Amino acid sequence: MAAPTTVPLSTETFWTDAEAHLVRYGGAFTHEIIERAAGSFLHTADGRKILDFTSGQMSAILGHSHPEIVETVRRQIGTLDHLFSGMLSHPVVDLARRLAETLPAPLEKALLLTTGAESNEAAIRMAKLVTGRHEIVSFARSWHGMTQAAASATYSAGRKGYGPATPGNFAIPAPNTYRPDFTHADGTLDWRRQLDFSFDLIDAQSVGSLAACLVEPILSSGGIIEPPPGYFAALREKCRERGMLLILDEAQTGLCRTGTWYAFERDGIVPDILTVSKTLGAGLPLAAVLTSAEIEQEAHERGFLFFTTHVSDPLVAAVGNTVLDVLTRDRLDERARTLGAFLRSGLEEIAGRHEVVGDIRGRGLLAGLELVVDRTTKESSDALGALVTRRCLELGLHMNIVQMPGMGGVFRIAPPLTATEEEISLGLSILDEAIGDARAAL
């Protein structure tokens, strides 16, 4: 075996090795070699500086290499990094208590895990055990993860070619106000009629074993779709009528991104089970399932089992505590509201200059911009979205676009909560230029 080398590979060798040895796991790799990242920027091997408008994988809410996160990792890994899964440590108990303190009653029990998929897997498993049922309802444009139960509740992508999904999974339409399916006389979304119809269909298909409804407060991979005010209260009532638990997946919306600590606060409801991930670790692998003492007790008495390698790991729990420190001290919920308003104003100005911008939506620092060929027909164009995305990267802005059948290209814009107005302005300027260049090219 050859001795390992620390000499950087040439660009040509790098991409040759990547092609030869990496499994492709979804689309093409971005053709940039990232050497380091700091704050809101990525730095490439060839010296380019790229503004990160996706916070990594929608996770790095404190920006990249936040000094307090760096210090926590250095300190913690030198004292206590990983334990047998049945052992406890101060960082784990502290984080569980502090998460409970950010939430309304009765959410007070926490299970600390690694990824969003894992947290949703645990939440579904808990709901099935507690209710004694197995059927799960989710939105038709949902994304809850790539493990078995989470993937079976994911409808935005990845369902074909893998054989049977978990039995008893059902989809209901996402209430999309820009592209409504059920409408009032004036053409606006009639979400109540849509929801009633959805559960009529669920009732017709169910074998009488409805366990839970697992949904995102704002569908991110589905195209930044935000259900209207009142929707979640009505959805919770549908669940209660059927003895179902309501599970909210706040992987991308939790911990201040939308301008409040949790997106569900807007709707005046409390879920039976809450999952958080991505933002909790600010880019490191940390997730949590949060529920009531009553549900936890019932699950425990029935033998709830979710014994994983990295459950209750002290290293990432310490990071989670630091994330809460920074969010609280720097009032990043307020900052997300302020910067979110600034971002939206800039997007509206872009919409005023470019007729291909069909819709702007989202909340706080989770914004969506939908591109269309025609504002009246709302006709979409994959080519336009791809051109704008590529041109943004060429100009120094990393953007993520969702392109699904029946929907125009939707940019998911989620800069770090620590971004400055100057950085937001830079991103808006590049996006403006990229849209103009793409329109000219088409």
- The confidence score (pLDDT) of residue 408 equals 61
Q: Which of 329, 364, 394 is the last residue of a domain?
A: 329
Taking 80 as the threshold, does the pLDDT of residue 106 lie above it? Answer: yes
Taking 60 as the threshold, does the pLDDT of residue 103 lie above it? Answer: yes
- The confidence score (pLDDT) of residue 341 equals 98
Q: Which residue of the set 216, 226, 250, 296 is catalytic?
A: 216
Taking 60 as the threshold, does the pLDDT of residue 1 lie above it? Answer: no
Taking 90 as the threshold, does the pLDDT of residue 140 lie above it? Answer: yes
Q: Is residue 11 part of a domain?
A: no
Q: Which domain holds residue 82?
A: 71-329
| Residue 216 falls in the annotated catalytic set | yes
Average pLDDT, the chain: 96
Cis check for the bond before 106: say yes or no (omega within 30 of 0).
yes
Total domains, the chain: 2
Q: Is residue 3 part of a domain?
A: no
Q: Which residue of the set 133, 252, 261, 370 is catalytic?
A: 252
Give me the percent of the chain exceeding a pLDDT of 90.
94
Say yes or no: 341 and 377 in one domain: yes
Range name among 3-12, 125-134, 260-269 with the lowest pLDDT average: 3-12
What is the average per-residue pLDDT within 211-227?
97
Q: Which residue of the set 133, 238, 242, 278 is catalytic?
A: 278
pLDDT, one tens digit per residue, over 272-284 is 999 999 999 999 9
Q: Is residue 19 part of a domain?
A: no
Q: Which residue of the set 52, 190, 249, 272 is catalytic?
A: 249
CB 147 within 8 A of CB 118: yes
Q: Is residue 363 part of a domain?
A: yes
In angstroms, rounded to a whole number, what is the distance separating the alpha carbons of residues 54 and 431?
Answer: 13
Residue 135 pLDDT level (bands cut at 50, 70, 90):
very high
Our CA angle for 119, 122, 128, nearest 5°, is 140
| Residue 15 falls in the annotated catalytic set | no
Say yes or no: 320 and 375 in one domain: no
Say yes or no: 257 and 347 in one domain: no
Say yes or no: 90 and 181 in one domain: yes
| Residue 160 falls in the annotated catalytic set | no
Q: Is residue 265 part of a domain?
A: yes
Amino acid at 418: T
Radius of gyration (C-alpha) of the chain in whole angstroms: 22
Q: Is residue 6 part of a domain?
A: no
Taking 70 as the threshold, does the pLDDT of residue 88 lie above it? Answer: yes
Q: Which residue of the set 272, 361, 412, 423 is catalytic?
A: 412
Taking 70 as the threshold, does the pLDDT of residue 2 lie above it? Answer: no
Amino acid at 216: E
In angstroms, rounded to a whole number, what is the distance separating the alpha carbons of residues 403 and 223?
Answer: 8
Around Cβ 277, how many Cβ atoms within 10 Å? 28
Say yes or no: 367 and 314 in one domain: no
| Residue 412 falls in the annotated catalytic set | yes
Q: How many CA atoms lie within 13 A of 203 on its CB side?
A: 11
pTM: 0.96
Say yes or no: 112 and 244 in one domain: yes
- The confidence score (pLDDT) of residue 442 equals 83
Say yes or no: 245 and 347 in one domain: no
Taking 90 as the threshold, does the pLDDT of residue 83 lie above it? Answer: yes
Taking 70 as the threshold, does the pLDDT of residue 406 lie above it? Answer: no
Residue 3 pLDDT level (bands cut at 50, 70, 90):
low
| Residue 196 falls in the annotated catalytic set | no
Taking 80 as the threshold, does the pLDDT of residue 4 lie above it? Answer: no
What's the CATH number where 132 sits?
A: 3.40.640.10
- The confidence score (pLDDT) of residue 113 equals 98
Taking 90 as the threshold, does the pLDDT of residue 399 lie above it? Answer: yes
Taking 90 as the threshold, does the pLDDT of residue 382 lie above it? Answer: no
Say yes or no: 292 and 368 in one domain: no
- The confidence score (pLDDT) of residue 381 equals 86
78-87: Cβ within 8 A, 24+ apart: 80/314, 80/315, 81/313, 81/314, 81/315, 82/310, 82/313, 82/314, 82/315, 83/312, 83/313, 83/314, 85/307, 85/308, 85/309, 85/310, 85/311, 85/312, 86/307, 87/312
In angstroms, rounded to a whole number, what is the distance separating the alpha carbons of residues 176 and 187?
Answer: 12
Q: Is residue 252 part of a domain?
A: yes
Say yes or no: 193 and 337 in one domain: no
Say yes or no: 87 and 155 in one domain: yes
- The confidence score (pLDDT) of residue 362 equals 98
Q: Which of 329, 360, 383 is the last residue of a domain?
A: 329
- The confidence score (pLDDT) of residue 191 equals 98
Q: Is residue 5 part of a domain?
A: no
pLDDT, one tens digit per residue, over 319-360 is 999 999 999 999 999 999 999 999 999 999 999 999 999 999
Say yes or no: 307 and 398 in one domain: no
| Residue 252 falls in the annotated catalytic set | yes
Q: Which of 275, 308, 329 is the last residue of a domain?
A: 329
What's the CATH number where 364 sits?
A: 3.90.1150.10
Say yes or no: 211 and 353 in one domain: no
404-442: burial string, b at 16+ Cβ within 10 Å, e else: eeebbbbbbbbbbbbbeeebbebbbebbbebbbbbeeee
SS3 string of the chain?
A: CCCCCCCCCCHHHHHHHHHHHCCCCCCCCCCCCEEEEEECEEEECCCCEEEECCHHHHCCCCCECCHHHHHHHHHHHCCCCCCCCCCCCHHHHHHHHHHHHCCCCCEEEEEEECCHHHHHHHHHHHHHHHHCCCEEEEECCCCCCCCHHHHHCCCCCCCCCCCCCCCCEEEECCCCCCCCCCECCCCCECHHHHHHHHHHHHHHHCCCCEEEEEECCCECCCCCECCCCCHHHHHHHHHHHCCCEEEEECCCCCCCCCCCCCHHHHHCCCCCEEEECHHHHECECCEEEEEEHHHHHHHHHCCCCCCCCCCCCHHHHHHHHHHHHHHHHCCHHHHHHHHHHHHHHHHHHHHHHCCCEEEEEEECCEEEEEECCECCCCECCHHHHHHHHHHHHHHCEECEEECCCCCCEEEEECCCCCCCHHHHHHHHHHHHHHHHHHHHHC
